[in-house]
């Protein structure tokens, strides 16, 4: 994109919601007496990421080298008025969508991956490592590492590794080393394989393997979502959206996004919290993962393996296993602590949609706007369509975050 225009839209600082929460955020805590997860974070996260995790500062300067890479991978992403959809719905209000699918890796994940890889590189480590389920986060990690010339070791849940060979190709094109997890690269993986060579893998096992690999190889662990630093980096989405709306003289009455761990949602909506008290904010989850309506607001494990700390959040239980749904990214049992607090205090509302609504929403969005949304983003679009139906005569300005494209998920329509 044109640099002159970019420089007006990409923010200079990320936004951290912590100081603007209605009450202090309950801190993370260790779940076991014999092992400190919080000490572990000191060893596996880049120092700067760890600092950002616990800071009360409202703004964090985005390093110039990160802004440069944001521009390289397609930021600012477009904010488009969905005029065809407005006509199709015969809606007198306005519908805008922010399209994170326009980034090089096709989703918002790259926004925090670039930041974390940059800080890791700066600290002179040997590489970065992470786990990935469907592969979106692995792709973002692989590209971000490649941009800063760091090796990336990615542990991909074995069943996804087999079912989604295209994602593996993408990670390889980005110079990422990908192995099915459990793998023989770690002691933990080898132990599981010796007990069951056909173990299909889980995200929890992947996290444990990545953490062990980081400790053994002086790599740093990359955090996909849930943790506050990731949400801070993702604030680039909402800050751009605010600026883009401002440039065309629009005010968001309603913001809608989907929630897996909460990073695209928090990144998109939190920058509106301090100065848009009247803006309605809606978080969509899948019917099958009803964390806000059926989950408890309590301290719970972030990961089923218990490697990472406990946090206070809405949770269906760390061992919750949802039915298979199209949107792999929405299967997480909990939601970021800051988002959970804002839901608990009533500042943010929640909604749940079912798989049929999601498929129909993706269809409608595709044949009016041309964009084939990711199944995760399809949830936000479904909520938006329902909202328009329910508020037909109110002429609101609705902004929905389409967190990714669905071009590697087309098989759900087969």
Give me the residues that bind a copy of itself (CB under 8 A), please.
Answer: 1-5, 9, 68-69, 71-74, 78-84, 102-106, 110, 143, 146-147, 165-166, 169-170, 172-175, 244, 247-248, 362-363, 366-372, 407-408, 410-411, 413-414
Q: Which residue has the tokens 């459990």?
A: 182
In the complex with a copy of itself, the residue whose CB is nearer, 340 or 369, is 369
In the complex with a copy of itself, the residue whose CB is nearer, 152 or 307, is 152
In the complex with a copy of itself, the residue whose CB is nearer, 205 or 245, is 245
In the complex with a copy of itself, the residue whose CB is nearer, 106 or 182, is 106
In the complex with a copy of itself, the residue whose CB is nearer, 69 or 304, is 69
Closest distance of CB 244 from a copy of itself, Å: 6
In the complex with a copy of itself, the residue whose CB is nearer, 166 or 321, is 166
Closest distance of CB 405 from a copy of itself, Å: 8
Closest distance of CB 384 from a copy of itself, Å: 17
HSE (side-chain half, CA atoms, 13 Å) at 389? 7
In the complex with a copy of itself, the residue whose CB is nearer, 73 or 399, is 73
In the complex with a copy of itself, the residue whose CB is nearer, 137 or 332, is 137
Closest distance of CB 131 from a copy of itself, Å: 21
Closest distance of CB 315 from a copy of itself, Å: 34
In the complex with a copy of itself, the residue whose CB is nearer, 40 or 110, is 110
Closest distance of CB 99 from a copy of itself, Å: 8
Q: Which residues of 163-200 are buried (b: 16+ CB within 10 A; e: fewer)?
A: ebeebbebbeebebbbbbbbbebbebbeebbeeeeebe
Closest distance of CB 185 from a copy of itself, Å: 22
């Amino acid at each position: 994109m044109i640099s002159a225009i970019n420089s007006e839209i990409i923010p200079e600082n990320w936004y951290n919601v912590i100081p603007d929460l209605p009450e202090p955020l309950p801190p993370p805590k260790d779940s076991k007496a014999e092992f400190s997860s919080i000490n572990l974070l000191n060893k596996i996260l880049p120092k700067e990421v760890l600092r950002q995790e616990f800071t009360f500062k409202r703004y964090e300067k985005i390093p110039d080298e990160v802004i440069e890479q944001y521009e390289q991978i397609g930021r600012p992403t477009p904010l488009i008025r969905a005029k065809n959809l407005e006509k199709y719905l015969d809606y007198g209000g306005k519908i805008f969508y922010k399209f994170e699918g326009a980034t090089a890796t096709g989703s918002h994940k790259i926004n925090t991956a670039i930041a974390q890889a940059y800080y890791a590189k700066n600290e002179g480590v040997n590489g970065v490592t992470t786990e990935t389920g469907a592969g979106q986060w692995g792709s973002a990690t692989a590209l971000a590492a490649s941009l800063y010339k760091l090796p990336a070791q990615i542990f991909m849940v074995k069943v996804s590794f087999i079912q989604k060979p295209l994602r593996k190709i993408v990670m390889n094109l980005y110079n990422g080393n990908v192995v099915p997890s459990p793998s023989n690269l770690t002691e933990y993986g080898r132990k599981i394989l010796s007990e069951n060579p056909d173990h299909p893998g889980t995200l929890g096992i992947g996290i444990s393997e990545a953490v062990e690999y980081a400790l053994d190889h002086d790599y740093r662990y990359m955090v996909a979502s849930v943790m506050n630093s990731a949400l801070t980096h993702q604030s680039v989405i909402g800050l751009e959206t605010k600026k883009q709306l401002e440039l065309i003289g629009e005010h968001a009455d309603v913001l809608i996004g989907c929630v897996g761990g909460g990073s695209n949602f928090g990144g998109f909506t939190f920058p509106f919290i301090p100065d848009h008290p009247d803006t309605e904010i809606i978080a969509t989850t899948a019917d099958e993962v009803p964390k806000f309506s059926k989950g408890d607001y309590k301290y719970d494990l972030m990961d089923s393996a218990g490697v990472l700390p406990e946090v206070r959040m809405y949770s269906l239980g760390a061992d919750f296993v949802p039915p298979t749904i199209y949107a792999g990214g929405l299967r997480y049992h909990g939601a970021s602590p800051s988002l959970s607090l804002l839901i608990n205090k009533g500042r943010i509302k929640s909604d749940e949609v079912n798989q049929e609504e999601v498929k129909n929403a993706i269809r409608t969005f595709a044949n009016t706007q041309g964009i084939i949304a990711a199944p995760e983003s399809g949830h936000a679009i479904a909520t938006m369509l329902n909202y328009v139906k329910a508020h037909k005569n109110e002429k609101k300005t609705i902004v929905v975050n389409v967190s990714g494209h669905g071009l590697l998920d087309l098989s759900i329509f087969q």
